[in-house]
Amino acid sequence: MLLNVENLHVRVEAEEEGEVKEILKGLSLTINPGEVHAIMGPNGSGKSTFSHVLAGKPGYEVTDGTVRFRDEDLLELEPEERAAKGLFLAFQYPVEIPGVPYMQFLKVALNSQRKLRGEEELSTPDFMRLIRQETERLNIPMDMLRRPVNVGFSGGEKKRMEVLQMAVLNPTLCILDEIDSGLDIDALKVVADGVNALRSQERGFLLITHYQRLLDYIEPDHVHVMTKGRIVRSGGKELALELEREGYAAYAEENAA
Amino acid sequence: MSKPMNRLAAEEAWREARESFDAGVPWLAEARRSALEAFEKDGLPTPRTEDWRWSDIHRYLNAPYPPAVATPAEGLDTLVASNPFVGVDASLMVFVNGRLDPGRSRLVGEEGVDVLALSEASLAPEWADFSARDDAIDRLNLAYATDGALVRVRAGLQASVPLVVLNITTGEGISCALRHQVRVEEGASFTLYEVQLGSGDHVANVVTAVKLDEAASLTRIQANLKDEATIHFANLDADLGARARLHDLAVLVGGRFHRQQDFVDFSGEEAEARVDSAYLLRGRQHADTRLVVNHAVPHCTSRETFKCVMDENARGAFQGRIHVAPGAQKTDGQMAAHGLLLGEMAEFDAKPELEIYADDVVCAHGATAGALDEEQLFYLRARGITERRARGMLISAFVAETFDDVENEAARSALQNLAESWLAEEGGA
């Protein structure tokens, strides 16, 4: 088992002073190696919160439930330890970092993970070989790596670079938070091809999306419907098509009842 | 005449030293006298002086710091060895407590570059102007300067050997003043590195006066690595002729109190000045920069970037003014001050100002202050970078903008190393 989430409850402090809002209300999910899962749901259902909590973003309080990742208590780990253990979150909005060249960022990230795992750091020639190989495969000009992280990149470029990071860092669980948002169809194909190339027996994927469109290009094994902080229905990839036809309204009512 | 009751102990000591102090350099006597008279008339700035509003020097100058007479013998080798620009192929001038140390200096002769110590000059150099501007620090400096570098770069020469000047002041309860003069003649170019070094509760006052003739170019990089007890005043007084170019960068990690004053005067058209600073402060360090850019003539460009990182109880201050004279059309001036506050008790004050008396100009100024960006921090950590390293990367990135255009690779990496070693001590763990 790669990831096992049981009865997860998460609160977040709302904008208004002191007000606490429960976002996740008993979420359970299991992902095995090699599986591709998709969580679909309307805005505000807690999808992105779930991805943030898995990656360890500060500002959330887990009030109940457990999350185990590769037989360890994930919630006990710092964000960087989670990454070193093989968890990767592709951000919905990749962050711009002026003054930090992309190449340096990637190299520090890779070697920091290796160090945390007790492995040798990668030498510069080996690192460059890896970068050349992966940029070629994803059709990314090397020039982009000389620029500061995400600064001035288009939406499509940012997402493609998230996939490059994934390829270079070689995680075991990839969480893609709305990887399709802000992409036109060509950019979506490029990103989906990159993701599909990374599918393997050992690696699991969690796709978080609002729209079925993404799943035309990255075919999931399991689809889950999430509303109001819980998974309310699970099924095969045909569930996505059903959602596309009928919308989320039915689930929202079912959940409220 | 009765003495004012509020005169500071330091000021009192400097006035008293007037009779007994022998600075040598007889040809400077007249200039000294008028500087001292002006200083004695106006005295030190008070906390009510607008240009000093964030630096109460009364807190720092309430003890006597008489002019240094003896040169200390200890610890000099270590200080000289801490020169960050040791990797730069250059001539070296070492000044210790206001006097040239010939044994530790090493001049690489270059045809067309005259380098001389002020104390060695038997006559006033005809190319240099020894007069103080309307500024207490400058007057005090001229009144008590005992030495300095005199550099003249002959017309048309692209000098290949830069000069590294170590301004070492070390000891307790003393003051030292050095006055450097650099003249770059028509079409020539030069690079000057200055390092402020030393330890102890003392006052150092270093003025660097720069005159760039038509189409002359100067890069000046200053690093302050002094210890946490020192009080330091550093003035830059630059005059740019037509089409001249100045790139000035000050990087500061040391000192208890530091006051930097940069006066940039454009006297010929189409000249360009870039004046940048990067300060990394912690503890109770106080560093204040005042920048005055005078666009007296049309078609000149100025860019000023001030970056200040403050942890613990450190305080950074910036006062900058771009003055555009009537008729200085097509002036392009931009000034920015940015503070990065790491400690809850740290403080940043900035006041960039524009004073414009011409109507066809492009001028802008801005100031920001804030903490590290939590979103950026999380993004780096989510990629496996430890929190400590991630913070370091973001702090480096904040100041790096000012280093990026330093052409000399050894110098650029020396500055990066300064920032790195500051970061290595960050957070204690």
Q: Along the 429 residues of chain B, how does pLDDT read in single tens digits?
A: 444 557 889 988 888 888 777 778 889 999 999 999 999 999 899 878 899 999 988 889 999 999 988 766 678 999 999 999 999 999 999 999 999 999 999 999 999 999 999 999 999 999 999 999 999 999 999 999 999 999 999 999 999 999 999 999 999 999 999 999 999 999 999 999 999 999 999 999 999 999 999 999 999 999 999 999 999 999 999 999 999 999 999 999 999 999 999 999 999 999 999 999 999 999 999 999 999 999 999 999 999 999 999 999 999 999 999 999 999 999 999 999 999 999 999 999 999 999 999 999 999 999 999 999 999 999 999 999 999 999 999 999 999 889 888 999 999 999 999 998 999 888 653
Closest Cβ–Cβ partner in A57, A98, A116 for B384: A116
| Those residues with Cβ within 8 angstroms of residue A255's Cβ, 6 or more apart along the chain or in another chain | A227, A228, A230, A232
Interface contact A89, partner B, CB < 8 A:
yes
Tokens 């100009």 correspond to B361
What are the φ/ψ torsions at residue B13 (nearest 5 degrees)? -65, -40
User: Cα–Cα–Cα angle for B70, B285, B258, nearest 5°?
Assistant: 55
A251 to chain B, minimum CA–CA distance in Å?
33
The ranges assigned to domains in chain A are 3-256
Token pair in block for residue A9: 């409850």
How many contacts, defined by CB atoms under 8 Å, are there between A and B? 75
Reported as a pLDDT band with limits 50, 70 and 90, residue A87 is very high
The amino acid occupying position A34 is: G
- Residue ranges of domains in chain B: 9-268, 373-429
Give CA–CA dist B34/B38, Å, rounded.
Answer: 6
Q: How far apart are CA B189 and CA B159, in angstroms?
A: 6
Q: How far is CA A98 from CA A80, A145, A176, B381, B403, in A?
A: 21, 13, 24, 16, 14
pLDDT tens string A33-60: 999 999 999 888 999 999 999 999 999 9
The answer to whether B260 and B288 are in contact (CB under 8 A) is yes
Please list, in sequence order, all residues whose beta carbon lies within 8 angstroms of the beta carbon of residue B150, skipping any fewer than 6 positions away: B114, B115, B116, B117, B118, B121, B125, B128, B180, B181
Supply B415's token pair: 């500055």
Residues A32, A33, A37, A39: is their CA dihedral positive or negative?
Answer: positive
Candidates A108, A111, A165, partner chain B, best to mutate (most B CBs within 10 A)? A108
Of A89, A96, A108, the CB nearest to B385: A108
Looking at beta carbons, which residues of chain A come within 8 Å of B400?
99
The CA-atom distances, in angstroms, between B354 and each of B146, B288, B332, B365 are: 37, 19, 12, 7
Q: Nearest C-alpha of chain B: how many angstroms from A101? A: 9
Look at the block and give the residue holding tokens 């009928």.
Answer: A246
For A243, the 3-state DSSP assignment is helix
Set of chain A residues whose Cβ sits within 8 Å of the Cβ of B376: 95-97
Between CA A147 and CA A132 the distance in angstroms is: 16
pLDDT score for B22: 77
Cβ B383–A105 below 8 Å, yes or no?
yes
Who contacts B32 (Cβ-Cβ below 8 Å, separation ≥6)?
A: B23, B142, B143, B144, B145
Largest CA distance in chain A: 60
A86 contacts in B (CB within 8 Å)? none
Asked if residue B148 lies in contact with residue B105, where contact means CB atoms within 8 angstroms, the answer is: no
Chain A residues in contact with B393 by the CB 8 A cut-off are 100, 105, 108
**How far does CA B268 lie from the centroid of its chain?**
24
Give contacts of A89 with chain B, Cβ < 8 Å: 382
CA separation for the pair A26, A255 (Å, rounded): 13
Measured between alpha carbons, how far is residue A7 from residues A24, A57, A208, B44 in Å? 9, 19, 19, 70
- B389–A94 C-beta distance less than 8 A: no
- Please indicate whether, in this complex, the C-beta atoms of B389 and A112 are within 8 angstroms of each other: yes
**DSSP reduced 3-state for A84:** helix
Strands of B91-96's sheet in order across:
B99-100, B91-96, B163-168, B189-197, B217-224, B245-252, B272-281, B301-310, B332-341, B362-370
Mutate to test the interface with B, among A51, A74, A80 (most CBs of B within 10 A): A80
Residue B385, φ and ψ in degrees, nearest 5:
-90, 130
Instruction: Please give the structure tokens belonging to residue A163.
Output: 């996939």
d(CA B352, CA B374): 27
- Among chain A residues, CA nearest to B398: A99
Find the residue in A nearest to B403 (Cα).
A99
| Residue B169 contacts residue B141 (beta carbons within 8 Å) | no
Tell me the C-alpha to C-alpha distance, in Å, between residue B352 and each of A146, B310, B336, B367.
Answer: 33, 19, 7, 7
Tell me the three-class secondary structure of B226-247, residue by residue: CCCCCEEEEEEEEEECCCCEEE
Contacts of residue A44, Cβ cutoff 8 Å, sequence gap at least 6: none
Nearest to B250 by CA among B207, B290, B194, B202: B194
Closest-CA residue in chain A for B376?
A95
What is the per-residue DSSP string for B90-122? -EEEEEETTEE-TTT-B---BTTEEEEEGGG-S
Q: Which residue has the higher pLDDT, A182 or B315?
A: B315
Strand A204-209 to B301-310 pairing: unpaired
> Of all residues in chain A, what percent carry a pLDDT higher than 90?
79
Across all residues in chain A, what is the average pLDDT?
Answer: 92
Whole-number Å distance between alpha carbons of B71 and B142: 20
Give pLDDT tens digits for A101-129.
Answer: 999 999 999 999 999 999 999 999 999 99
- Chain A touched by B429 (CB under 8 Å): no
- Do A90 and A178 contact (CB within 8 A), yes or no? no
Chain A neighbors of B384, CB-CB under 8 A: 80, 83-84, 109-110, 112-113, 116, 169
Strands B189-197 and B163-168: what pairing?
parallel
Determine if residue B17 is left, alpha or beta; phi over 0 gives left, psi from -120 to 50 gives alpha, anything else beta: alpha
State the burial class of residue A172 (Cβ atoms within 10 Å of its Cβ: 0-12, 13-18, 19+). Answer: middle
Q: With beta carbons under 8 A apart, name residues in chain B contacting A95.
A: 375-376, 378-379
Q: Is A58 on the interface with B (CB under 8 A)?
A: yes
- Which has the closest alpha carbon to B400: B305, B282, B259? B305
Q: What is the DSSP letter of B67?
A: B
> Does residue B299 contact residue B274 with C-beta atoms inside 8 Å?
no
Query: What's the pLDDT at A252?
Result: 64
Assign 3-state DSSP to chain A and report helix, strand, coil percentages, each to 5: 40, 30, 30
- DSSP β-bridge partners for residue B245: B217, B272
Contact A109 B384 (CB under 8 A): yes
Q: Which of residues 333-392 of B touch A (CB under 8 A)?
A: 374-376, 378-387, 389-390
Residue count of chain B, please give it: 429
Three-state DSSP state, B168:
strand
If DSSP codes are grouped into helix, strand and coil, which group holds residue B342?
Answer: coil
Using a CB-CB cut-off of 8 Å, the residues of chain B touching A100 are 393-394, 397
Tokens of A188: 């979506």
Place of tokens 């360090």: B285
Angle between helices A155-169 and A185-197 (to 10 degrees): 0
* Two tokens, residue A105: 């960022």
> Domain A3-256, what fold?
Rossmann fold (3.40.50)
Q: Is any Cβ of chain B less than 8 angstroms from the Cβ of A113?
A: yes
- SS3 of residue B21 by DSSP: coil
3-state secondary structure of A88: strand
* Residue that is written with structure tokens 């192929």 in the block: B89
Around B385, how many Cα atoms within 13 Å sit in the side-chain half-sphere? 20
**Closest CA–CA distance from residue A102 to any residue of chain B (Å):** 11
- In this complex, the residue of B375, B383, B401 whose CB is nearest that of residue A99 is B401
Distance (Å, rounded) from C-alpha A24 to C-alpha A26? Answer: 6
Q: For residue A84, what is the nearest residue in chain B, using CA coordinates? A: B384
Strands A97-101 and A148-149: antiparallel
